[in-house]
Chain A
Amino acid sequence: QQQVRQSPQSLTVWEGETAILNCSYENSAFDYFPWYQQFPGEGPALLIAIRSVSDKKEDGRFTIFFNKREKKLSLHITDSQPGDSATYFCAASFTGYQNFYFGKGTSLTVIP
């Protein structure tokens, strides 16, 4: 059973637009949701994360919106730049638990 689902599988936006990446999860006990960014040939790197006690987390152009009731979250990238072109993984975990469940990722392409 896939614990974390992401959509769309791939997304193309123009430079300056807002990219919206979606994520949903199965286990209502998850309380920590990091998003990882991965460029080709590199490992994933933590981009931004949110805890379930919050419904929004902002860091510059990156914002996570979290809906606990619906077990959904989304990553919004405003003013998208070509350098944002990467694969974005949503992940989920429990506090203090040494394991993360990852989605399949969304491949984002930003066209100049």
Chain B
Amino acid sequence: GPKVLQIPSHQIIDMGQMVTLNCDPVSNHLYFYWYKQILGQQMEFLVNFYNGKVMEKSKLFKDQFSVERPDGSYFTLKIQPTALEDSAVYFCASSLGQAAETLYFGSGTRLTVL
């Protein structure tokens, strides 16, 4: 089936540094998402993105977070600066259309902030 690729699978950084998580969504999909999952907790919605703009974001999407997809390349989540509580697995997802009911998820990037 359609694949969403996330790079890297694991990233370890020091608190205060910047990190960029990369996502290669399904090629014809138009909506992109980031979810955050702390170990043992549910996946929580961070943000969705369409046509170059953030459509909706949650309280978890702090000012230090930003997303972009320059020129149809990777859909990225940037955290600057990072904090200890940002340690989690970040899942990227994409969907075909506005009322699409199926999200296609990547395998996640495990971010460890020391």
Contact = CB atoms under 8 A, between A and B. Distances in A.
Most buried by B among A34, A89, A98, A99: A98
> Main SS of the interface on chain B?
strand
Interface string A32-66: 10101000011111100100000000000000000
A43 B42 contact: no
Contact of B101 (A4, A49, A101): A49
A17 B75 CA distance: 42
Interface string A96-109: 10111111110000
B40 A42 contact: no
B7 to A, nearest CB: 13
Interface residues of A, number: 24
Given A44-B91, A98-B48, A104 B41 contact: yes
Interface stretch (B12-20, B62-70, B104-112): B104-112
B43 interface: yes
Nearest to A46: B102
Contacts of A99: 45, 48, 56
Interface string B76-114: 000000000000000101010011011111111000000
B4 A104 contact: no
B31 A89 contact: no
Contacts of B104: 43, 45
A43 B56 contact: no
Nearest to A45: B105
A42 B107 contact: yes
A104 B42 contact: yes
Contacts of A27: none
A102 B43 contact: yes
Most buried by A among B93, B95, B101: B101
A94 to B, nearest CB: 10
Contacts of A42: 107
A44 to B, nearest CB: 5
Contacts of B56: 98-99
A28 interface: no
A25 to B, nearest CB: 12
B42 A34 contact: no
